[in-house]
Amino acid sequence: MSRRTRMATIDPTPPDARAEPIAARSFGSGATTISDIARLTGVSKKTVSRVINGSELVHPETRDKIKALMTELNYTPDPQARGLAFRHSFLIGLVFDNPTAQYIVNMQYGVLDALRDSGFELVVHPCDSKRADYIDGIRHFVQRQKLYAVILIPRVSEDQALAEMLQDLGVRYVRIASVALDDASRMVMTHDRRAGSEVAEYLESLGHRYVGLITGPKRYRSSIERGGGFRDGLARRGIALTDEAVYEGGYTFESGVAGAEALLRREPRPTAIFACNDEMAAGVYKAAQRMGLSIPGDLTVIGYDDSPLASQLWPPLTTIHLPVREIGRQAASLVLTKDRQSNPEGNAAITVSPHLVIRDSSQPPRE
């Protein structure tokens, strides 16, 4: 029936226009346009457009007929044409500086989870936040591609100047960070401070009293939060973390090695070390091996991230699981929800909680 209706509908356009069949125009087959749908269904392009954009102002019967035809012809509106008319593209930019490969990839997977079937695509944009003009680079990227939104990953997410530039541009964005740096509607927060405390409490409960901390760079907010939470957690349990028990690393393997070597020379030697990411924890493993210390017999090691590395180390690393893919999913969902401003006051920021995963690198201290 629906087929007959379609066939019976007379094409209102003059016979000279568009006389050729629908399919196979330019990009392989399936190049149906909004005009084809309008003509074959006997309505105006505007009405089809209303259906595409989910307007309520369409007669249900008309809408159904149009939708049926769109499905039948496997029609999807051209994002470039829509973008030109809407004055923005259907692209989401992912901007990042230099996290680990695993972090980047998991984030991409998470974002793409949320973007699936949305008509939006993910465009990646690494940058170097140490360059003076890196914000300009991002501005050009956003402007030129008329991005619909951008997702900011630490450390660039922590740059206030970048956020302000994006606000000036009037483009949507969301920042991923461990503290509330912005409106709740623009934040996905990870409770790094709480996770740091959790590590402290776990170590105290095992009986450790002499512990060391290897932080990330001070310019990373996550590093401050993880380390600060750890320090606070210890303090709450009556353990003071002296300055000599803290080594500022660089989130790299090598800095983990150096940090462990520095900390393990102290007297009394720490019985446990918390490294603020897994890569540095792997460095601690190496230093311990060199110094003839066994893990966890002589030394308990805790990491942060729960990267694949954590389960590949020997012994498997006790660490904080950071749900990166979930974070990416949340960030992308946030950016796609139109009604962010509908509840400007009551909106709570989206938060994601890392949690401790106990494996084999931790146990009570000897004696």
Partner DNA sequence: CTGAAAGCGCTTACAG
- Chain positions contacting DNA, by CB under 7 A: 12, 25-26, 31, 33-35, 42-50, 52-53, 56-60, 62-63, 75, 77-78, 81-82, 84-87
Nearer to a copy of itself, 71 or 242 (CB): 71
Task: Give how far Cα 317 sits from Cα of 51, 265, 284, 338, Å.
Answer: 53, 22, 11, 41
Separation between Cα atoms, residue 260 and residue 285, nearest integer Å: 9
Separation between Cα atoms, residue 355 and residue 194, nearest integer Å: 9
β-strand partners of 305: 321
Confirm or reject binding of residue 71 to a copy of itself (CB under 8 A): no
For a copy of itself, which residue of 10, 17, 19, 26 counts as binding (CB under 8 A)? 26
Nearer to DNA, 13 or 312 (CB): 13
CB 282 within 8 A of CB 313: yes
Confirm or reject binding of residue 282 to a copy of itself (CB under 8 A): yes
Separation between Cα atoms, residue 145 and residue 13, nearest integer Å: 35
Which partner, a copy of itself, DNA, none, binds residue 228 by CB below 5 to 8 Å per kind? none
Distance in Å, CB of 303 to a copy of itself, minimum? 13
**Closest CA relative to residue 222, chosen from 187, 176, 173:** 176
Nearer to a copy of itself, 2 or 80 (CB): 80
β-strand partners of 187: 175
Q: Helices 324-336 & 101-115, crossing angle to 10 degrees?
A: 40
Which region, judged by CB under 8 A, interacts with a copy of itself, from 63-71, 120-128, 179-187, 344-352? Answer: 120-128
**Closest CA relative to residue 327, chosen from 162, 199, 154:** 154
Which region, judged by CB under 8 A, interacts with a copy of itself, from 240-248, 276-284, 293-301, 333-341? Answer: 276-284
For a copy of itself, which residue of 16, 20, 61, 168 counts as binding (CB under 8 A)? 168
CB 241 within 8 A of CB 204: no
3-class SS of residue 69 = helix
3-class SS of residue 354 = coil
3-class SS of residue 249 = coil
For a copy of itself, which residue of 34, 91, 156, 322 counts as binding (CB under 8 A)? 91
* Contact pattern from residue 218 through residue 257 relative to a copy of itself, giving x for each residue in contact according to CB under 8 A and a dash for the rest: -----------------------------------x----
Which residues in this chain contact a copy of itself in the complex, by CB under 8 A? Answer: 26-28, 30, 76, 78-81, 83-84, 87-89, 91, 100-102, 104-106, 108-109, 112, 119, 121-124, 126, 139-140, 143-146, 168-171, 253, 279, 282-283, 285-286, 289-290, 308-309, 311-312, 314
